[in-house]
Amino acid sequence: MTLLGSNHTYSGRYNRRLVFDLIRSGKGVSRRDLGDATGLKPQTMSNICKDLIDRSLVEETIRLEGARGAPQKELRIRTDAGSCLGVHIDRDGLLGIVCDLSGHELGRERASASLEDPKDTIRAIADMTRRLQFAAPDLPAWGLGVAMPTLQEAEFEHPVGPPGWNAWNRLPVAEAIEEACGLPAIIENDATAAAIAELRAGRAVGLSHYVHIFVGHGLGAGIINDGMPLQGFWSNAGEIGLLTWPSELGGEVAQQTPFSMDELAAMLGRESRDIATPGQLEGLYRQRDSVLMRWLDLNAKRLRLLVSLLENILDPQTVVVGGHFPAVLIDSLIDRAYPLLPSVSARGHRDVPRLCAGALGPDAAAVGAAMLPVIAHGSPDFRRLSFMRGRSQTIDFERRFDRVAGAPADDET
The count of domains in the chain is: 3
243 and 178 inside one domain: no
Per-residue DSSP letter, 119: H
Instruction: Say if 413 falls within a structural domain.
Output: no
In this prediction, residue 309 carries a pLDDT of 97
Tell me the pLDDT tens digit for each residue of 65-78: 555 666 678 999 99
Instruction: Specify whether 311 is located in the same domain as 351.
Output: yes
Beta bridge partners of 220: 214
Is residue 117 assigned to a domain?
Answer: yes
Q: Which helix (H) or strand (E) holds 14?
A: helix 8-25
**With 0-12 CB in 10 A as exposed, 13-18 as middle and 19+ as buried, what is 129?**
buried
CATH code of the domain in which 41 resides: 1.10.10.10
Q: Is-contact 133 100, C-beta < 8 A? A: no
Per residue in 279-338, pLDDT tens? 999 999 999 999 999 999 999 999 999 999 999 999 999 999 999 999 999 999 999 999
- Whether the predicted pLDDT of 409 surpasses 50: no
| 391: β partners | none
pTM of the model: 0.92
- What does the alpha-carbon distance between residue 360 and residue 319 come to, in Å, rounded to a whole number? 15
Residues 238 and 353 in one domain: yes
**Claim to verify: residue 229 and residue 315 sit in the same structural domain:** yes
Considering the domain architecture, whether residues 208 and 341 belong to the same structural domain is answered as yes
pLDDT digits (tens, 9 = 90+) for 96-129: 999 999 889 999 999 988 888 899 999 999 999 9
Which are the contacts of 315, defined by CB distance < 8 A and separation ≥ 6?
A: 209, 344, 345
For residues 214 and 151, membership in a common domain is answered with: no
Mean pLDDT of the 197-224 span? 95
pLDDT: which is higher, 247 or 1: 247
Q: Is residue 295 part of a domain?
A: yes
HSE-CB for 118 with a 13 A CA cutoff: 18
Same domain, 29 and 122: no
Containing structural domain, residue 18: 8-77
Q: What is the mean pLDDT of the chain?
A: 89
Residue 3 in domain: no
pLDDT on residue 66: 54
195 belongs to a structural domain? no
- pLDDT, tens digit, for every residue of 219-239? 999 999 999 999 999 889 999
90 and 147 in one domain? Answer: yes
Q: How far is 59 from 353, CA to CA, in rounded Å?
A: 38
The domain boundary residue, chosen from 77, 109, 130: 77
Q: How far is CA 122 from CA 93, 134, 172, 192, in A?
A: 12, 19, 12, 21
pLDDT tens sequence across 136-176? 999 999 999 999 988 656 666 666 666 667 788 878 999 99
In a domain, 332, yes or no: yes
**Domain-terminating residue out of 77, 98, 115:** 77
CATH number at residue 318: 3.30.420.40
Residue 99 counted as domain residue: yes
Choose between 352 and 162: higher pLDDT.
352
- Are 234 and 114 found together in one domain? no
* Boundary of a domain, candidates 30, 58, 77: 77
- 162 and 68 in one domain? no
Same domain, 381 and 317: no
3-state SS track over 287-323? CCCHHHHHHHHHHHHHHHHHHHHHHHHHCCCEEEEEE
The answer to whether residue 412 sits within a structural domain is: no
Task: Please say whether the dihedral angle defined by the alpha carbons of residues 22, 23, 28 and 33, taken in this order, is positive or negative.
Answer: positive
How much of the chain exceeds pLDDT 70, in percent? 91
Is residue 412 scored above 80 in pLDDT? Answer: no
The pLDDT value recorded for residue 411 is 39
Examine the domain organization and report whether 339 and 207 are in the same domain: yes
